[in-house]
Structure 1
Amino acid sequence: MLGLSGFLAATLAFLLVWQYLKLRWLSRQYPPGPTPLPIIGGLWRLDFRMKQEMFTKIAKDYGNIFTLWVGHKPMVILNGYQAVKEAMYTHGEQLTGRPITPFVAATMKGRGILFASGHTWKQQRRFSMMTLRNLGLGKKSMEYQIQQEGQHLVESFVSEKGKPMDPTFFITCSVSNVISAVLFGHRFSYDDKTFQSLVQAIGFMFRFMPSPFRIAYDIFPRLMSYLPGPHQKAFGCLEFGHSKAKEEITNHKETRDPLDPQDFIDYYLDQIEKTKDDPNSTFDEDTLRQLIIDFFAAGTETSTTTLRWALLYMVAYPDVQEKLQKEIHTVLGPSHVICYEDRKKLPYSNAVLHEVQRYSNILLVGSFRECVEDINLLGYHIKKGTVVIPEVSSAMCDPEQWETPFQFNPNHFLDKDGHFFAREAYLPFSAGPRVCLGERIARTELFIFFTNIMRSFKIQLPEGVKHANTDPIYGGLVLLPRPYKICAVPY
């Protein structure tokens, strides 16, 4: 007779075999992909590590549309520009949903923009776009704020007097202050401890999202809620962010002029008043707090990381730096206030910045989408509710779209006469209906910050350092440069 341990082992074996057969049966309804195993799904194919080239390698075996199972959940992955284009443009409206995992449900609760779907997402995105335009998006008023912050960034570099420094802190503060000016109507001192804590908390959330602990929470939410780990810190960081957002909202209630809104919070509080009797309204203070977190999360890490890569590439490719600075110094005078419109007079500088974004290709995983209705995608029937990942990073290094996809080459964005031209496969801000809401802000601050630094300083490696290591490390949802120091030597 079987003892208790034997019975439990037999039961476990039966459940595993039953789960395996169930997954094999379900997988017939989706595009092909790595064989899903009980509990782990197809994660074995990734060696349980996140790598930039991981999906491209799988695509070589299964094609540019394949299914990867995470536990018992299928995800349809699209690899290469043509597949991504099909999803983003042809089926963009059908792919505006966001998958609601247990962690997302417990933290974001369907509010905001980043992880919202349906009616909430449409209302919040429409209002946010309108408000950003009212605040000067694409106009001189918002650009002036970015120019002022760019000057603070240059001054912080000057204070280092050409000595070896890690530029991360200064860049992070400057980028975050652009968002602060939009949301709160004011900037923070770089030394403000609350400001630093807020940036650090949101940065931790950004890094936590693709971690094994977040995946474990989504698979075993009840169990993980009782266990210690980084997921508990993530809840604490989000609570801290909401508390600081609430303080700003309370201050705005006391000081704002309803007839003269000055920033995003002012406009949002007005909208709450206007729609308080509308049963279909999604405007309330809880959603406003989540929107503030969303803006910081979406804007700070990506722009900061891009600028860090840009400076690292300038020491890794000194010939590019020399040519870029020659163009800037020839075209722009030392007292000229750099504006976004200057990119048209600086084709090489503009091309370099675009190539920085293409080559660094910082987004490790494409934006998660969920089908809001059944679609036919690349010959496969994809059911409503299926998670689809258009792998934007694969489009940025697609050999069919780029002459030298795995080399840093600003000529990707220059014609034979040296004029700048855009490329369809350049998608750092995604595309379609869920294209990055702050794309114009990000483009403007990247250009103004980068060109101001390059006009003011020669970027060098510290004495004794002979080589700039451009191999990336994995920092959550983005690919980060390894920690480095540079010398910003004033001209």
Structure 2
Amino acid sequence: MEGTMATVLLLPLLLLALSWWAWGVRRAQMQRGLPPGPTPFPVLGNLLQLQSGHLDRVLMELSSRWGPVFTVWLGPRPAVVLCGYTALRDALVLQADAFSGRGSMAVFERFTHGNGIAFSNGPRWRTLRNFALGALKEFGVGRRSIEERIQEEASCLLGEFQAIVGTPFDPRRLLDNAVSNVICSVVFGKRYDYGDPEFLRLLDLFSDNFRIMSSKWGEAYNIFPSFLDWIPGPHHRIFRNFQELRVFISEQIQQHRQLRQAREPRDFIDCFLDQMDEEQQDPESHFQDETLVMTTHNLFFGGTETTSTTLRYGLLIMLKYPEVAAKVQAELDAVIGRTRAPNLEDRARLPYTNAVLHEIQRFISVLPLGLPRALTRDTHLRSHFLRKGTFVIPLLVSAHRDPTQFKDPDHFNPTNFLDDRGEFQNNDAFMPFAPGKRMCLGAGLARSEIFLFFTAILQKFCLLSTESPASINLTPQCTGLGNVPPAFQLRLVAR
């Protein structure tokens, strides 16, 4: 009886407390100028509404009620979500400077401490980005020399494929190695053999981290890092993997210090060391040892994982839609033939192939939520006044699934990028590399690699699946930071 009475008394108090919390949240939203959104719970925020593992999908569903600019609470932190092409354009393109800050992600913050290019801000970010763009250009990125380097690596990859023709295999490691070797040639000044055990270990670390950060554990860590630090789980492996990568990069830097000739740079690391020498007397210099380690890691990871994942997903999609692969191969045969290697100039003469590659990237949205932004100053967006420092989620997948921009947004359909005459037709809503000032540093390199590796493979091989096309599942194995394709077996037949 006493327990029942206590329950009767506590229930109104609990409801009163929740009402007070909801009123406080609404008041805080109004004071901060935050857009409206679903009412959060104490401590948890909107996590009960945000189904873990499908955050991108749930956010798009919430947008149908709250509009293209709305607020969700990730635990105790509010986040402004940009959903749909026009909202993303209005913010990231038309107000590029205001939305050029990088929002903090706990999983990266613990490792980088805001260092490097991807997760730095302010003068440090601008200085490092401008330096990196110049250094990468000096070593061929955006020029004919990097195209030749990709073609050489594609030839090596085809040789590896030829050795296992007819045998089912998982293409992940070979694609990782090929893609990573391109950026390694720029950053480290060398490539690695496909059987190099140390390098294979590093590629596995990248893949493992991308998978965990895209899982429920990765999502949870970014929301409650202090709590998750004490909870057992696979998220702890992220930081062990990061440390192993740090050791490898530090060893590479030390080798460069011992062998380099000042002002005669062989690669990106040499360029950075030269800049460190020039600014060693400047106490405000951004060119420090830790910055070099983090910047190298950013380029190494960024130049490997998303491009390799795109290619792997692309091959899986071709297995699902063999008629599309056949049409790509027919166009390659007609324009290039089967003896000459594809080059970037061919892209303009391959409208269907170009459309397929764009549709692969649109359909998979490899980074569905993009990387978070933070406002660098107070600004207005639509009817909302947003304060400096506001955490922003640019929901890139929402542009790719926007029915006002693509005629068949929910299905894989290359005609999304073809006009009525069958010619390639670009679309401003296509933004896999994120628009604005925070566009991916290696976007041009990634586009070149995706085109040259994909066309080289389909020029030489027919792709066969170990299961029927109808039974192939394209649903991501993990979706969070990235959309990770399900594992699959591929069998190649020489054409």
* TM value normalised by structure 2: 0.92
1:174-193 residue CA offsets vs partner (Å, 9 max, x unmatched): 11111211110111112222
C-alpha distance in 1, partners of 2:483/2:97? Answer: 29
Task: Give how far 1:157 is off.
Answer: 1.2
Answer with 219-228 or 191-200: which moved more.
219-228
Residue 114 in 1 paired to residue 118 in 2? yes
C-alpha distance in 1, partners of 2:418/2:22? Answer: 52
CA 1:486–1:275: 2 relative to 1, 3 Å: same
Task: Give how far 1:475 is off.
Answer: 4.7
In structure 1, give the amino acid aligned to 2:57.
Answer: E
Match of 1:429 among 409, 430, 433: 433
CA 1:411–1:466: 2 relative to 1, 3 Å: closer
Task: Give how far 1:323 is off.
Answer: 1.4
Match of 1:388 among 388, 392, 404: 392
Classify the secondary structure of the residue corresponding to 2:271. helix
C-alpha distance in 2, partners of 1:456/1:169? Answer: 20
The count of aligned residue pairs is: 485
Answer with 377-386 or 465-474: which moved more.
465-474
Q: Alpha carbon RMSD of aligned pairs, Å?
A: 2.3
Aligned counterparts, 1:87-98, within 5 A: 87-98=91-102
C-alpha distance in 2, partners of 1:318/1:35? Answer: 46
Name the structure 1 match of 2:44: 40
Match of 1:160 among 160, 164, 168: 164
Name the structure 1 match of 2:29: 27
Match of 1:401 among 386, 399, 405: 405
Answer with 18-27 or 329-338: which moved more.
18-27
Asked if the contact 2:173/2:203 (under 8 Å) is kept, the reply is no
Residue 368 in 1 paired to residue 346 in 2? no
Asked if the contact 1:206/1:297 (under 8 Å) is kept, the reply is no
Name the structure 1 match of 2:143: 139
In structure 1, give the amino acid aligned to 2:196.
Answer: D
C-alpha distance in 2, partners of 1:467/1:160? Answer: 24
CA 1:408–1:222: 2 relative to 1, 3 Å: closer
Residue 345 in 1 paired to residue 338 in 2? no
Asked if the contact 1:23/1:37 (under 8 Å) is kept, the reply is no
Classify the secondary structure of the residue corresponding to 1:83. helix
C-alpha distance in 2, partners of 1:224/1:72? Answer: 15
1:441-462 residue CA offsets vs partner (Å, 9 max, x unmatched): 1001100000000000111223
Asked if the contact 1:107/1:238 (under 8 Å) is kept, the reply is yes
Task: Give how far 1:194 is off.
Answer: 1.6
Asked if the contact 2:319/2:464 (under 8 Å) is kept, the reply is yes
Name the structure 2 match of 1:450: 454
Asked if the contact 2:103/2:392 (under 8 Å) is kept, the reply is no
1:97-122 residue CA offsets vs partner (Å, 9 max, x unmatched): 12235544332111101111111111
Residue 78 in 1 paired to residue 82 in 2? yes
C-alpha distance in 2, partners of 1:217/1:412? Answer: 37
Name the structure 2 match of 1:312: 316
* TM value normalised by structure 1: 0.93
Asked if the contact 2:53/2:216 (under 8 Å) is kept, the reply is no
Asked if the contact 2:139/2:267 (under 8 Å) is kept, the reply is yes
Q: Which runs of 5+ in 1 are unaligned?
A: none
C-alpha distance in 1, partners of 2:467/2:475? Answer: 21
Answer with 110-119 or 159-168: which moved more.
159-168
Name the structure 2 match of 1:235: 239
Name the structure 2 match of 1:258: 262
C-alpha distance in 2, partners of 1:150/1:338? Answer: 10
Task: Give how far 1:463 is off.
Answer: 6.9
Asked if the contact 1:41/1:71 (under 8 Å) is kept, the reply is yes
CA 1:41–1:466: 2 relative to 1, 3 Å: closer
C-alpha distance in 2, partners of 1:370/1:164? Answer: 45
C-alpha distance in 1, partners of 2:161/2:251? Answer: 32
Name the structure 2 match of 1:124: 128
CA 1:15–1:249: 2 relative to 1, 3 Å: farther
Answer with 298-307 or 389-398: which moved more.
298-307
Classify the secondary structure of the residue corresponding to 2:48. helix
Asked if the contact 2:96/2:437 (under 8 Å) is kept, the reply is yes
C-alpha distance in 2, partners of 1:433/1:102? Answer: 22
In structure 1, give the amino acid aligned to 2:26.
Answer: R
1:424-470 residue CA offsets vs partner (Å, 9 max, x unmatched): 11111111111010011100110000000000011122377763222
C-alpha distance in 1, partners of 2:73/2:256? Answer: 46
Classify the secondary structure of the residue corresponding to 1:94. coil
Answer with 97-106 or 406-415: which moved more.
97-106
Asked if the contact 1:368/1:389 (under 8 Å) is kept, the reply is yes
C-alpha distance in 2, partners of 1:320/1:40? Answer: 45
Asked if the contact 1:324/1:348 (under 8 Å) is kept, the reply is yes
Answer with 178-187 or 12-21: which moved more.
12-21
CA 1:403–1:76: 2 relative to 1, 3 Å: same
Name the structure 1 match of 2:490: 486
1:342-380 residue CA offsets vs partner (Å, 9 max, x unmatched): 111211111111111111222232320001110101110
In structure 1, give the amino acid aligned to 2:278.
Answer: K
Task: Give how far 1:141 is off.
Answer: 1.3
Match of 2:192 among 170, 188, 201: 188
C-alpha distance in 2, partners of 1:267/1:356? Answer: 35
C-alpha distance in 1, partners of 2:344/2:42? Answer: 53
Classify the secondary structure of the residue corresponding to 1:489. strand
Task: Give how far 1:205 is off.
Answer: 2.9
Name the structure 2 match of 1:416: 420
